């Protein structure tokens, strides 16, 4: 156990008795911990429970994506999902938030940080709601709804693993934990 006395030292215990070490400032300590980017998104289906995804214009390695994106400073995951959904589709989800999955990825493939993501249930959309989706052409150029098995041929294996886990979480009511969404692995 480590204590943090007011004199700026850290008292430790262990073999050989107690000793003191210089205490790290919050900034110094922050440099020693995991660095990660965070994102949040929504999982939508049509009324037949077929997943809806958007085709990216900027990510050929991950062409089909859930509705969502990277968290802005000061934002909480649900706020990010709502903002991104509104920006990407014109839909403003009402909530309440229902977490379907937590997704983690190690750094690699040129990306220096881990990633942490939350996937929330966006619900079922009617054919009219899907038809009325307006995508931002700088980010996406198509909205598609397909039965889950048909998505597999259109996406990298790790993306399909994530999509399958999210679908299973929606169906079973048990949140998914996906920890194999690593950068640089396909």
pLDDT of residue 95: 83
pLDDT of residue 30: 86
> Of 45, 51, 50, 69, which is closest to residue 59 (Cα–Cα)?
69
Give the span between the Cα atoms of 186 and 176, in whole angstroms. Answer: 20
pLDDT of residue 61: 87
> Of 68, 60, 113, 107, which is closest to residue 91 (Cα–Cα)?
68
Q: State pTM to two decimals.
A: 0.85
pLDDT of residue 142: 97
Residue 48's alpha-carbon distances to 79, 124, 139, 146, 148, in angstroms, are: 27, 8, 27, 10, 11
pLDDT of residue 135: 94
pLDDT of residue 4: 43
In order along its 186 residues, the chain shows pLDDT tens digits of 444 445 555 545 555 556 666 788 889 988 888 889 999 999 999 999 999 999 999 988 889 999 999 999 999 999 999 999 999 999 999 889 999 999 999 988 888 999 999 999 999 999 999 999 999 899 999 999 999 999 999 999 999 999 999 999 999 999 999 998 787 665
pLDDT of residue 48: 98
């Amino acid at each position: 156990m480590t204590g943090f006395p007011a004199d700026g030292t850290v008292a430790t215990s262990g073999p050989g008795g107690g000793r003191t070490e210089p205490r790290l400032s919050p900034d110094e300590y922050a440099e020693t911990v995991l660095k990660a980017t965070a994102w949040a998104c929504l999982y939508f289906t049509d009324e037949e429970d077929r997943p809806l995804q958007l085709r990216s214009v900027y990510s050929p390695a991950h062409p089909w994506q859930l509705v969502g994106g990277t968290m802005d400073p000061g934002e909480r995951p649900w706020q990010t999902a709502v903002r991104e959904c509104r920006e990407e589709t014109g839909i403003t989800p009402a909530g309440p938030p229902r977490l379907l999955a937590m997704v983690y990825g190690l750094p690699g493939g040129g990306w220096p940080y881990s990633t942490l993501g939350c996937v929330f249930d966006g619900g079922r959309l009617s054919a009219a709601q899907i038809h009325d989706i307006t995508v931002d052409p700088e980010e996406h150029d198509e909205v598609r709804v397909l039965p889950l098995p048909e998505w597999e041929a259109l996406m990298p294996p790790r993306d399909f693993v994530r999509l399958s886990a999210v679908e299973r979480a929606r169906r079973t009511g048990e949140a998914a934990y996906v920890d194999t969404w690593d950068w640089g692995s396909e």
